[in-house]
Structure 1
Amino acid sequence: MPKQRITKEMVVNAAFEIARESGMEQVMVKNIADKIGCSVQPIYSYCKNMDGLRQDVVEQINCFIREYVATHINKDDLFRSTGNSYIRLAQEEPHLFRIFILHQREGISSLNDLYQSETNPHMAEFIAEKLNISIKQAKRLHLNMLIYTIGIGTIFSVTTPGISTDEIYTQQEVAYEAFLRQALCSKE
């Protein structure tokens, strides 16, 4: 029987699946080899260090999350449904959500930097138009909801047996209304 050729893609995919099932702390050479069904030798040939492999896994997770959110948003209620899709992600894929939220982000030294790196650059324009508010007010609302959704999503992803999604969505809506009122009352 010919030997199976192990590729870097197979290694990264196996590491992604391990992270998805058990968290990034379980992404280890032996676990990857077991998942693929090979010895550790081919894994070491692709992984000069685990940091590089983990970064490849984070990139795959980011792609997965972008696709996940895109398929779970309501085009008629883009802003709210985006936040709801992240909460749904936290429920359905808690390990991936935690990795996504907790991975190191370089070059972030302010909330504005975070906002610029984590959001669609056209979302503030969309929100401003939809709610008939200024771009500045829309950015403030969006940033507040981004921070809130990350926080409540993280809480949601680490609680057992788990807070109900209805409770989370209700709380998210309360926060949205409060942040919208704040944005509407703020001066340009």
Structure 2
Amino acid sequence: MPPKQILTKDMILSAAIELTKASGFESVNARSLAQKLGCSTRPIYSCYSNMDDLKRDAYQLAVSKLVDTGANHINSEADYIAYNMLYIQFAKNEFNLFKLIYLSNQFESDEHDSLIEVHEVSKVIHERLAQIYLLSPSQSLNLFKKVWYFMHGMAVMLATNSIKLEDSEIERMFKELIHDVVEGERRRESAQGEH
């Protein structure tokens, strides 16, 4: 008789992410996970005492996979635009994960704000923006937030097929927005210096 396969939390969470990608987060339950993993529900409940804890961990895993994509490689405007395009592609190509993270109230918390303002990755990004565009910390944070809101709105519209745009058009819009915000920040700084 072959030895029993031991399920780990990582295996269960990977299966939950795969199910979410394929069928949405609402499809994640003990039975669907057991079927995906080729086992009964018992090993799942030996790792997790309830589905709420499992789903919370799966949600956290999805968030961590998203925020850890390339921020440390932003060294130029082209890198920053490429980083934003990754987010757009994520929304279009991984709609069910995008929906879980940004379009559901599955876990009401300050997670969305933490992704924008508090998370270490966002700090890295706006510090890089300060270096690239020679901006103060508050100016680079303003740039980061304005591009984030624009990018997120565009991602939602593209992912839900509300608009159709070619990647080249999206990149052009990012460049224009970044230029306009940087110039606006510099004008405000200059005007404040004159008073």
Q: SS of 2:54's equivalent?
A: helix
Partner of 2:70: 70
Q: SS of 2:122's equivalent?
A: coil
Deviations 1:9-47 (A, max 9, x none): 221111111112222111111111111111222223333
Separation in 1, partners of 2:30, 2:161: 29
Alpha-carbon RMSD: 3.1
Please give the residue correspondences for 1:13-32 in structure 2 after superposition, counting only pairs within 5 Å.
13-32=14-33
Alignment check: 8 A CA contact 1:20 1:93 kept: yes
- Displacement, 1:57? 0.9
Please give the residue correspondences for 1:118-157 in structure 2 after superposition, counting only pairs within 5 Å.
119-157=121-159
- Displacement, 1:114? 4.1
Please give the residue correspondences for 1:44-63 in structure 2 after superposition, counting only pairs within 5 Å.
44-63=45-64
- Does residue 106 (structure 1) correspond to residue 106 (structure 2)? The answer is no
Separation in 2, partners of 1:72, 1:164: 26
Partner of 1:180: 182
- Does residue 84 (structure 1) correspond to residue 92 (structure 2)? The answer is no
Q: Unaligned regions of 5+ residues in structure 1, if any?
A: none
Alignment check: 8 A CA contact 2:67 2:121 kept: no
Alignment check: 8 A CA contact 1:73 1:81 kept: no
How many correspondences in the alignment? 186
- Return the letter of the residue paired with 1:23: G
Change (3 A) 1:112 1:39: closer
Q: SS of 2:12's equivalent?
A: helix
Alignment check: 8 A CA contact 1:84 1:169 kept: yes
Alignment check: 8 A CA contact 1:14 1:32 kept: yes
Separation in 1, partners of 2:31, 2:109: 29
Alignment check: 8 A CA contact 1:73 1:85 kept: no
Change (3 A) 1:161 1:42: farther
Partner of 1:35: 36
- TM-score under structure 2 normalisation? 0.77
Alignment check: 8 A CA contact 2:116 2:122 kept: no
- Return the letter of the residue paired with 2:181: F
Deviations 1:122-164 (A, max 9, x none): 3333222221222221111111111111221122222289543
Q: Unaligned regions of 5+ residues in structure 2, if any?
A: none
- TM-score under structure 1 normalisation? 0.79
Over the matched positions of the two proteins, sequence identity in percent amounts to 24
Separation in 2, partners of 1:153, 1:59: 21
Alignment check: 8 A CA contact 1:125 1:135 kept: yes
